């Protein structure tokens, strides 16, 4: 929990400005997440190339996580966030610019997708690292602050996904990317104007080498059994999620329902359910046992895979997706609260980056294998395999001793 000094003046404006900046940027990211795979499917009809697109979207997040975290600690959180947003906005704008001028080959699209994700990842990590001090300024418990952050993240899907599907039908996939590019620039402006510049963390040894600091972050994760266990389990579930969300579901929707708007509705339902779950956890989560909530929320979130097997009407998939995705709401807030309690302030950039990289490291492989196996085995078989494996992985978390440590809050350790 964030310690609140009663003599300090409460100022909630910075933390809510941070949440607004995140919301704008994340809605734009949802536009990209729908528009780019749909563009590839429209132009190639290939699940394999859709998987390749996902690979080049996720791989740079892993690279930026491992090597960018130390840079974030050195540059400062605010400065990194602004630079990252500006660079990502320019990179994203290059996609429609090239398409409408000299033309855009598939390999060029992959380069731009890679660079956009590479530049975007440090900005998200830097904004996350700003949260504890801004929460303290606002007099807000850390569980509530992390819950609101992830409600915004999930809510971006609720708003952005159906809007993206609608705009794709009206404007075309390429034009939607202009909106994405603008979102980065707006986010950079909000952070630059509202958030205090005193956010650079002093390092203990100013002359330390970059790689030494990087190793310090990795060593911290290796020695903290709870953080390590979380990284491994989230890595496994993200691997499965990347197969489903990056390949199987877009192919399923195109085969069964035939348009991007329905894909947008399904992603929005996932976001809406997570928002509801996150709001509930924001209200009462600090009173609940974290480990129990974490395990059963993960199990609930995975149940939606089984509904797809019955090829129901889109309204049924949307409704059940909304219900089961409520389980996703508490997951990231619990992880965030644990991280903020256990990771030293001066190491947040490098440790957060390494945690993100570790959690996402299997996702590029998941995208590639998802595309290959979906073409070979078909959507129905892939859904069965994903459902069984996901259930086994999530239930196993109940029996991992290190994960029970998440019930011990900062003041109890």
pLDDT per residue as tens digits for the range 75-104: 777 888 888 888 888 888 888 888 788 877
The confidence score (pLDDT) of residue 7 equals 52
**Whether pLDDT at 207 is above 70:** no
Distance of CA 397 to the CA centre of its chain: 21
SS3 content of the chain, % helix, strand, coil (to 5): 85, 0, 15
In the three-class reduction of DSSP (H, G, I as helix; E, B as strand; rest coil), residue 400 is classed as: coil
Confidence of residue 205 (pLDDT cuts 50, 70, 90): very low
Q: How far, in Å, CA of 182 to CA of 191, rounded?
A: 15
The count of other CB atoms within 10 Å of the CB of residue 217 is 25
Q: How far, in Å, CA of 246 to CA of 47, rounded?
A: 10
Q: What is the biggest distance separating any 2 CA atoms in the chain, rounded to whole angstroms?
A: 64
247 closest CA partner among 356, 386, 73, 349 = 386
Q: How far, in Å, CA of 215 to CA of 225, rounded?
A: 17
Do residues 69 and 215 make contact, with C-beta atoms less than 8 angstroms apart?
no
**Which letter does DSSP use for residue 408 in this model?**
S
Confidence of residue 385 (pLDDT cuts 50, 70, 90): very high
Higher pLDDT, 399 or 103: 399
Which of 48-52, 268-272, 325-329, 389-393 comes out lowest in average pLDDT?
48-52
**Whether pLDDT at 145 is above 50:** yes
Structure token digits, residue 368: 């590639």
98 closest CA partner among 86, 87, 113, 83 = 113
Do residues 379 and 253 make contact, with C-beta atoms less than 8 angstroms apart?
no
The confidence score (pLDDT) of residue 1 equals 42
- Locus of tokens 């090239």: 98
The confidence score (pLDDT) of residue 200 equals 46
Confidence of residue 199 (pLDDT cuts 50, 70, 90): very low
pLDDT tens, position by position, 293-352 = 999 999 999 999 999 999 999 999 999 999 999 998 899 888 888 888 888 877 777 777
Distance of CA 236 to the CA centre of its chain: 15
Percent of the chain whose predicted confidence (pLDDT) is above 90: 19
Which are the contacts of 382, defined by CB distance < 8 A and separation ≥ 6?
243, 248, 370, 373, 374
Average pLDDT rounded to a whole number, residues 7-19: 77
Do residues 31 and 164 make contact, with C-beta atoms less than 8 angstroms apart?
yes
Percent of the chain whose predicted confidence (pLDDT) is above 70: 90
Average pLDDT rounded to a whole number, residues 113-134: 78
Q: How far, in Å, CA of 71 to CA of 57, rounded?
A: 21
**Whether pLDDT at 34 is above 90:** no
Over the chain, what is the mean pLDDT?
81
The confidence score (pLDDT) of residue 206 equals 46
What CATH number labels 13-195+210-412? 1.20.1250.20
Do residues 358 and 231 make contact, with C-beta atoms less than 8 angstroms apart?
yes
Higher pLDDT, 190 or 163: 190
The confidence score (pLDDT) of residue 319 equals 95
**Model pTM score:** 0.66
Q: For 201, how many CA atoms within 13 A lie in the half-sphere containing its CB?
A: 21
Which are the contacts of 279, defined by CB distance < 8 A and separation ≥ 6?
147, 151, 329
Which of 15-19, 231-235, 311-315 comes out lowest in average pLDDT?
15-19
Q: How far, in Å, CA of 75 to CA of 70, rounded?
A: 9
Distance of CA 96 to the CA centre of its chain: 24
Cα-flanking dihedrals φ and ψ of residue 78, to 5°? Answer: -65, -50
Cα-flanking dihedrals φ and ψ of residue 409, to 5°? Answer: -80, 175
């Amino acid at each position: 929990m964030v310690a609140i000094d009663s003599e300090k003046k409460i100022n909630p404006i910075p933390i809510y400005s941070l949440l607004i900046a995140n919301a704008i940027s994340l809605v734009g990211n949802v536009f990209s997440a729908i528009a780019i795979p749909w563009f590839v499917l429209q132009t190639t009809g290939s699940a394999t190339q859709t998987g390749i697109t996902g690979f080049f979207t996720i791989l740079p997040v892993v690279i930026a996580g491992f090597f960018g975290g130390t840079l974030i600690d050195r540059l400062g959180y605010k400065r990194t966030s602004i630079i990252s947003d500006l660079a990502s906005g320019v990179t994203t704008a290059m996609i429609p610019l090239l398409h409408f001028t000299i033309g855009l080959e598939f390999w060029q699209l992959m380069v731009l997708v890679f660079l956009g994700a590479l530049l975007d990842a440090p900005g998200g990590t830097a904004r996350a690292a700003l949260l504890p001090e801004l929460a303290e300024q606002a007099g807000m418990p850390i569980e509530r602050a992390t819950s609101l952050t992830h409600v915004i993240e999930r809510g971006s899907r609720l708003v952005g996904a159906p809007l993206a599907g609608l705009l794709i039908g009206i404007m075309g996939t390429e034009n939607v990317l202009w909106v994405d590019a603008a979102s980065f620039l707006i986010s950079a402006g909000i952070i630059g104007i509202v958030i205090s510049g005193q956010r650079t963390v002093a390092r203990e040894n100013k002359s330390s080498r970059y790689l030494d600091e990087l190793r310090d972050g990795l060593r911290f994760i290796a020695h903290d059994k709870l953080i390590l266990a979380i990284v491994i389990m989230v890595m496994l579930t993200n691997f499965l999620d990347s197969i489903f969300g990056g390949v199987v579901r877009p192919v399923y929707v195109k085969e069964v329902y035939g348009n991007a708007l329905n894909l947008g509705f399904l992603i929005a339902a996932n976001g809406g359910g997570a928002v509801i779950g996150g709001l509930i956890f924001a209200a009462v989560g600090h009173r609940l046992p974290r480990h129990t909530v974490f395990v059963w929320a993960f199990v609930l979130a995975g149940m939606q895979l089984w509904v797809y097997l019955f090829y129901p009407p889109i309204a049924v998939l949307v409704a059940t997706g909304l219900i089961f995705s409520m389980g996703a709401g508490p997951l990231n807030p619990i992880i965030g609260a644990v991280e903020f309690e256990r990771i030293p302030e001066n190491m947040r950039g490098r440790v957060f980056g390494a945690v993100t990289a570790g959690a996402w490291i299997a996702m590029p492989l998941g995208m590639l294998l998802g595309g290959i196996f979906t073409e070979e085995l078909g959507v129905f078989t892939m859904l069965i395999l994903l459902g069984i494996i996901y259930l086994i992985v999530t239930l196993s978390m109940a029996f991992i001793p290190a994960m029970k440590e998440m019930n011990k809050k900062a003041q109890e350790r």
